[in-house]
Each structure stands twice: as structure tokens, then as C-alpha cells.
Structure 1
Amino acid sequence: MLLAGLAAAGAEEFDPTSLDLAALIECRADVPAYNGFALWLSGEPGAAEKLGWKEVTAGNPFLRQYQLPVPVHVFGREMASVVLTATGPMAVVDDVSAPDLARALGVTAQISTPDKFLGEKVLVESSEEADGMTFSTHIALNVSTVNSHPGKVLAGCSYALDVK
């Protein structure tokens, strides 16, 4: 019940004019900032259109892809497309290899083959106890390739809050 109340409050309080997409993608935001945005985007009718985002077919049931009305500057590049995963936003990069981008961002490869790249750099790993519950935060910068986006690299942040 507490989480449902927090989620609803975060979505209601989100102001779309305050969106700093680059900060969300580059892991310069915190979990509540991302969650407020994600809940607003998924719960507000016409939210993507209010941002000027145009949904495009991602070819992957685990990703929602949007063409941005104005490119966003992330990782030293201009990106015009973003995908949203279950845990965060990722820029769609098409002018660099995944290993090269990961190296430039200090991301460690967990899988690096000609067919698949997956890397992660943990930026925040913490736990707090309050009111008999443990709140664990995990924020990580990710670089990956997926079959649905041949020749592209996905780079962005994952935000997770686990409550026990």
C-alpha cells in the first residue's frame, strides 16, 4: 500500500516541463526522479505526445522506442531516438561500436561477443532501513546490443528500488 501511494504521488507531482532526459539517460538523476517520470509517462493519457515524442516500432516487446522532436545531447553525442526498458531510458546510438562506447564510459563488459554485448557500471548501490522495511537502491549505466536493433548500441541508465 505504501509503495502504491508513493507511486501515485510521484506520477501526480511530475511536471513534464521539468524533464531532463539527458540526466535520466546518463544516470545523473535519482530513483524518485526516474520513477516519477516513468509513472507519469505510462499513466498519463497522451503523455508521449505532450513531450512531442513519436512512438516507433521497436521490434522488441521489452522496449518502447520514441523518436524525439529535438535530439538530446548524451555521452558527447546527439541522439534523436530513445528506448525505455522496464528500468530506465537508453539512447539509441548508431555511430560507435558497443565495446568502444563502453570503454569510453568506463562500463565493464559482462558479455562481449560478435553477436551480443552487455556491460554495466554500477554507480549507486545502497540500502536504508526505515519503518521496519529495507530500501535497496541500484543505479547502473548500461551499454548493450539487442537483436531488434542491428547495428545500433543502446546506452543508458537503469534505476531500481527494491523494498523488503
Structure 2
Amino acid sequence: MRIVAQIPLVLLVGVAAAGAEEFDPTSLDLAALIECRADVPAYNGLAFWLSGEAGAAEKLGWKEVPAGNPFLPATVRVFGYETASIVFTATGPLAALDGVSAPDLARELGISPEVATPEKFLGEKIVVESSEEADGMTFSTRIGLNVSTVDSHPGKVLAGCSYALDVN
């Protein structure tokens, strides 16, 4: 059973505000976040800052497009490919890639597919999985590298990282 839902909202708001205040947008290494070379606090700092800072995306030069995903002011190189478009899920950033198939990229990254049909591809490789106990609670960190295709982005391969911290 997860206790996260029982943590007082004031505490969560305080953590979010602290993460937003501590984030320095000049330190952003988007490629590291997408390629799972960052840690959970690095991603959370960006996520809290983006959601809590007025005009945060614009400060990074990002432009939201009708699909709700940011276009970058310059391309970013991830997994050996260039992209000017990223997608955010609830747990992390993904690059929207052209010029590569999902099965080929997954093979390059050592990811085994969970779903591999002509209509859908989904694969994940766990990069970090750890637990720490403190004050009677268990903090579990999970970072996963993902490759997928989705109907909302036809012809694109989405590749990136998911960052999760569970408190039990």
C-alpha cells in the first residue's frame, strides 16, 4: 500500500516549491534527462519549475504546439539522433524522433519489447532500481529507458526516460 496519498498536501506543496526554487534553468541538460543520465531530483526540479514558474517554457525558448508538446529553439541530440520536438509524460521527457524505427532503436539501446506489432511498439529497460529506508518509510527509486510509438504522433518514435520515486 502506498502512503503517498496520505502525505499532507501542505508537505507536497512545500517540496514542489523547494524543487522549483532550487532549479537553475541554465543548468538544464535536456539530453541527459531524456537519455536517463540524470537522477530523480534533477527531473523533479525541472518538472516542479515548469509547472510552478510563470512563463517557464518560454524562458527556455520552448514553444508549445497544438498537440501540447514543446518545440525546442534548437535541436537536441539524443541516442545519436537529432530532434526539435519533445513530449512530456507524467514521469519524464521523451524525444520525438524521425528516421529510425522503434524496433531498431530499442535494439541499439538494449531494450526488449513488451509489445511489438505493426500498430504499436512499447519497450522499457530499467536503468536504476533502488530502495532506501528512513524514518520507518521506504523510498523506492525507479528510472526506466523507454521506446514506444503512439497514435498521437504518427511516424515518430518516442524515446526517453521515466523517473519515479515511491514512498511506502
What's the TM-score once normalised by structure 2's chain length?
0.92
Note if 1:161 corresponds to 2:165.
yes
Tell me how far apart the structure 1 counterparts of residues 12 and 71 of structure 2 sit (CA, whole Å). 31
Where do 5+ consecutive residues of structure 1 fail to align?
Answer: 59-63
Tell me the CA shift for residue 57 of structure 1: 2.0
Deviation string 1:91-122 (CA, Å, 9 cap, x unpaired) is 00011110011001111100000000000000
SS of corresponding position for 2:69: strand
* Aligned twin of 2:55: 46
Of 86, 89, 93, which residue of structure 1 is paired with 2:90? 86
- CA contact 2:98–2:155 (8 Å) conserved in 1: yes
RMSD: 1.0
- Counterpart code for 1:104: E
- Counterpart code for 1:156: G
Tell me how far apart the structure 2 counterparts of residues 133 and 7 of structure 1 sit (CA, whole Å). 20
Tell me how far apart the structure 2 counterparts of residues 143 and 159 of structure 1 sit (CA, whole Å). 14
Tell me the CA shift for residue 133 of structure 1: 1.1
Tell me how far apart the structure 2 counterparts of residues 5 and 44 of structure 1 sit (CA, whole Å). 14
Note if 1:70 corresponds to 2:74.
yes
* Aligned twin of 2:36: 27
Where do 5+ consecutive residues of structure 2 fail to align?
Answer: 1-7
SS of corresponding position for 1:45: coil
Deviation string 1:95-154 (CA, Å, 9 cap, x unpaired) is 111001100111110000000000000001111011111100000000000001111100
- Counterpart code for 2:24: D
* Aligned twin of 1:16: 25
- Counterpart code for 1:29: A
* Aligned twin of 1:132: 136
SS of corresponding position for 1:12: helix
Tell me how far apart the structure 1 counterparts of residues 102 and 123 of structure 2 sit (CA, whole Å). 9
Tell me the CA shift for residue 43 of structure 1: 1.1
* Alignment size in residue pairs: 159
Identity %: 77
